[in-house]
């Protein structure tokens, strides 16, 4: 075997079998916010609104330069200061952020979670729960069930999940709107068609 052949063997691309064998499960990292200070969140949203307002009043960069008029100086300074304020508040919000790594669920896993969280239906003359009237699952518990099945990092035990999703008598650290948003991401990566245009 010549040196050229050895070089060729070393640089040959992996076979499809090797690529399948070495492929990792698809995942996505998503942020959730635990114990969020909602006053801080309100302050951040107000700062974003103030920044948008300041930017709308700033002179157009193409038609005005800094110092063209007395009004352009404070307006430009206001935008700079407001951007700094937004970033400071964002940094404080990020102190509450936890990243979860989720994976897609296949059809069997999806069905197992759905069956574990059946819709609340009325029986024996009892009126059905209106939240689940048009659903195939319990709309309150299904999102948490999806998360438990899909989160691969960090590793969480039953106690962790009980605190995150709430248990009888204990409110959830992860409020229902965030549970729904995170579950929507599980749905998206589990049901999303890959659409990468040919180059």
Distance of CA 90 to the CA centre of its chain: 16
pLDDT category, 7, cuts 50, 70, 90?
low
pLDDT category, 75, cuts 50, 70, 90?
low
The pairing of strands 151-153 and 28-33 is: unpaired
* 181: its two tokens: 């948003």
pLDDT digit string (tens) for 92-138? 999 999 999 999 999 999 999 999 999 987 766 566 678 888 888 99
Taking 90 as the threshold, does the pLDDT of residue 193 lie above it? no
pLDDT category, 77, cuts 50, 70, 90?
confident
**Cα–Cα distance, 92 to 97 (Å, whole number):** 10
pLDDT digit string (tens) for 32-69? 999 989 999 999 999 999 999 988 887 654 334 444 44
* 47: its two tokens: 């700062």
With a pLDDT cut of 70, the percent of the chain lying above it is: 80
**Average pLDDT along the chain:** 84
Rg (CA), the chain: 26
Q: Which among 150, 143, 178, 148 has a CA at the least distance from the CA of 161?
A: 148
DSSP one-letter string for 47-113: HHHHHHHHHHHSPPTTT--TTSSTTHHHHHHHHHHHHHHHHHHHHHHHTTEEEEEE----HHHHHHH
Q: Which among 31, 180, 5, 19 has a CA at the least distance from the CA of 95?
A: 31
């Amino acid at each position: 075997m010549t040196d050229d052949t050895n070089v060729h063997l070393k640089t040959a691309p992996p076979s499809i079998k090797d690529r399948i064998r070495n492929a990792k499960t698809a995942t996505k990292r998503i942020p959730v916010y635990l114990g969020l200070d909602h006053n801080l969140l309100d302050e951040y949203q107000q700062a974003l609104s103030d920044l948008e307002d300041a930017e709308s009043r700033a002179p157009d960069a193409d038609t005005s330069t800094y110092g063209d008029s007395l009004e352009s100086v404070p307006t430009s300074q206001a935008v700079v200061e407001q951007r700094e304020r937004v970033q400071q508040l964002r940094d404080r919000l990020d102190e509450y952020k936890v990243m979860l790594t989720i994976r897609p669920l296949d059809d069997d896993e999806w069905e197992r979670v759905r069956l574990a969280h059946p819709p609340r239906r009325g029986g024996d003359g009892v009126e059905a729960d209106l939240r689940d009237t048009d659903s195939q699952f319990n709309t309150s518990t299904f999102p948490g069930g999806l998360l438990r099945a899909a989160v691969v990092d960090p590793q969480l035990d039953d106690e962790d999940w009980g605190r995150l999703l709430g248990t009888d008598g204990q409110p959830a650290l992860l409020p229902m709107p965030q549970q729904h948003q995170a579950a929507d991401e599980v749905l998206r990566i589990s049901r999303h068609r890959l659409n990468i245009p040919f180059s």
